[in-house]
Structure 1
Amino acid sequence: MPRYEYRCRTCGETFEMNRPMAESGAPASCPAGHDDTVKLLSAVAVGGTAAAPAPSGGGCCGGGGCC
């Protein structure tokens, strides 16, 4: 189940909740009970693969002898 991060606009506390993706936009109360919260954007990648390796050889300064 995905984990979402929220921030309370009333007290400023940041907290996380596990909830289904279908409920990601639903209101969330902070641990202190305040209802004025906002979902934060996550920097975690959702899919894909690791970064591709850097190309080697050829091109300027990549082994092409232009330097």
Structure 2
Amino acid sequence: MRQNECVPTYEFRCRECGATFDVKRPMSESAAPASCPDGHDDTVKLLTMAGLSGGAAAPAPGGGCCGGGCCG
């Protein structure tokens, strides 16, 4: 990974202790498992919606997540 390279942050939750934690890694490693900070291996990657709308302050045009085509 090059310095100043922008990498996404993925949020995980530990099924054993319930801790939620973030991991920064390249998109090519997005499916890789992650251990929780307490060393547990039973974790799940969470689906986060941050940044999916194209801007933090403005919702996506045309109805949000699906563009207004199918969700009400």
TM-score by length of 1: 0.67
1:11 aligned onto 2:17? yes
**RMSD after superposition:** 1.7
Q: How many pairs align?
A: 52
CA distance in 2, matches of 1:13, 1:36: 11
Identity %: 62
Q: Which residue of 2 aligns with 1:43?
A: 49
CA distance in 1, matches of 2:41, 2:33: 7
- Partner amino acid, structure 2, of 1:27: P
Q: Which residue of 1 aligns with 2:3?
A: none
- Partner amino acid, structure 2, of 1:10: E
